Amino acid sequence: MESRPMALSQSHRTMTPQLDKIKLGIWCDYGVTLEPTEGIGVFVANLVEGLLGQPSMEKILLVSKEGQEQLLEPLRLLAPDRIEVIGNSKPPFYLRKPWKTLRQADRRRIERTGTSIRDQGPLGWTYRWFERRVNHSKASWLEGVDLWLLPYVGLDQEFNKPTIVIVHDLVTYHFSDGTPPEKLDSFKRLVNQVTARAKIVACMSDFILHKDLHGTLGLASDRTRMVRPAVPRDFRRSSEPPSMLPEGIPAGRYLLYPAAFRNYKNHQLLLRALPSINRDQPDPWHVVFTGIKQTPPDLLDLIKDLQLEPWVHVLGKVSRGELESLYRHAFATAVPSLYEQGSFPLMEALSFGCPILSSDIPSLREQLAAMGPDAIYFDPHSESDFARAVFELNQDRSGKLAGQLAGFQRMKQRTWTDVAGEWCKIFHAILEPTV
């Protein structure tokens, strides 16, 4: 049954609210819906559950892609009287392309002149006409919350209510990964527009705060916040029976890297290091990659040039049961990333009892600080240092794993209730400004 959009009282429409209770909108439609079990959707799911325990949180409105409302149903069922899911209806077909063209032209003008098309004579009238038509069907719920939390910055949507946008990282600014220049420029214009209009631009690590928000975007410190996440509550176990390892992958003798093939993920480091790791080894090490993208030609060429075919296994996308089995039987999970806000696979590996090897970059040191000396780092630009990390773990794998798991338990002392409480302080600061 379709739920009714939440509506604000007249007092909320006409004056700045002095709120004890908050109606929060969380935007989950980015062309596809942020699912509670994947990527940024995992953050949303954990935050929503934490927010339900906050006394000031009255209602939460989750916006999905139209027709994908069922993907957020597990969250709605957590508190059906307090959580509503609504599909983001598309504008009429004949409006979509001209509206998109107008929005892109507006961003280019703002970047060039600092002024918006919407305020410019006849063209501005056209812009406002399209805007009214596009938002007509969703005005009631767009206006029916006190503020909007945008979990990802890549959103082309106008809001009259205050917004908080989360920048996880700006890795595409630093590693374009083959993105066409015109597409990257368009994305940068969108980021500039969304962050300029937001009340607060937030992130989840000190490194990203200083590197990307203050540095790359040049945002003032009074418009930025950092709220560190907690370890996801429950890493999803598979309902499938235990999976056998694919043929040719030796249990306990492979390094696992579950990540999509992108330049900054730095898969090539593991390949370049493998010959030296296997030198004089009667029982050679293997490398296992999983991910949703096909193997790039340069990595295929590298595997061939180094004659690594017997020891490198590219499995593509795997089921949850298969991934769980790969974690449980791996010698270690290795993450050689060059740039990250944080690494979900590192946490997931530990949850399945698999030791970890981490790239020595500031954000991952920040994430793994609770591990102390039991965390094993390596220079992501050095094959020899990665080999050194593998051998260091091999000298006392059980001892290192015990220390890492103890550090993982310390990381879990920060809860999503703690995280939600910090977010609520930001919400109240926006909605209840001091006079």
Q: Is residue 150 within 8 Å of 165, Cβ to Cβ?
A: yes
As a whole number of angstroms, the distance between CA 287 and CA 393 comes to 16
* CATH 3.40.50.2000 for domain 254-411: yes
104 pLDDT tier (thresholds 50, 70, 90): confident
Q: What's the fold here for domain 10-230+415-431?
A: Rossmann fold (3.40.50)
Rg (C-alpha) for the chain, rounded Å, is 24
Q: How far is the CA of 409 from the CAs of 75, 368, 376, in angstroms?
A: 26, 12, 17
* Per-residue buried b or exposed e for 5-41, using 16+ beta carbons within 10 Å of the residue's own CB: bbebeeebeeeebebeebbbbbbbbbeebbbbeeeeb
Per-residue pLDDT for 261 more than 50?
A: yes
pLDDT category at 121 given cuts 50, 70, 90 is confident
Tens digits of residue pLDDT in 4-57:
444 433 333 334 444 579 999 999 999 899 999 888 999 999 999 999 999 999
Return the closest-CA partner of residue 219 out of 229, 205, 209.
209
Phi-psi region of 169 (alpha: psi -120 to 50; beta: other; left: phi over 0): beta
Rounded-to-integer distance, Cα 224 and Cα 214, Å: 8
Q: Tell me, what amino acid is at 286?
A: H
Measure the CA–CA gap between 1 and 235, rounded to whole angstroms.
Answer: 31
Cα separation, 411 vs 405, in Å, equals: 10
Q: Tell me the C-alpha distance between 422 and 202, whole Å.
A: 12
Question: Highest-confidence range of 117-131, 170-184, 407-421, by mean pLDDT?
Answer: 407-421
Domain boundaries, the chain: 10-230+415-431, 254-411
Interval 382-396: pLDDT, tens: 999 999 999 999 999
Q: Which residue has the tokens 């501005």?
A: 124
Q: In this structure, which amino acid lies at residue 242?
A: P
Rounded to the nearest 5°, which phi and psi values hold at 386? -65, -40
Q: How confident is the model at residue 2 (pLDDT cuts 50, 70, 90)?
A: very low
Q: 3-state secondary structure string, 193-224?
A: HHHHHCCEEEECCHHHHHHHHHHHCCCCHHHE
Concatenating the DSSP letter of every residue in 46-102 gives HHHHHHTT-TTEEEEEEEEETT-GGGGHHHHTT-TTTEEEEEEPPPPHHHHHHHHHH
Element at 150 (helix H, strand E): strand 147-150
pLDDT, tens digit (0-9, with 9 covering 90-100), for 298-328: 999 999 999 999 999 999 888 888 999 999 9
pLDDT digits over 47-70, tens only?
A: 999 999 999 999 999 999 999 999
The band of 236, judged by pLDDT with boundaries at 50, 70 and 90, is low
State the pLDDT at residue 12: 37
Q: Which two tokens stand for residue 308?
A: 């690594």
Say how many C-beta atoms besides its own lie within 10 A of residue 44's C-beta. 23
> Which of 96 and 78 is assigned the larger pLDDT?
78
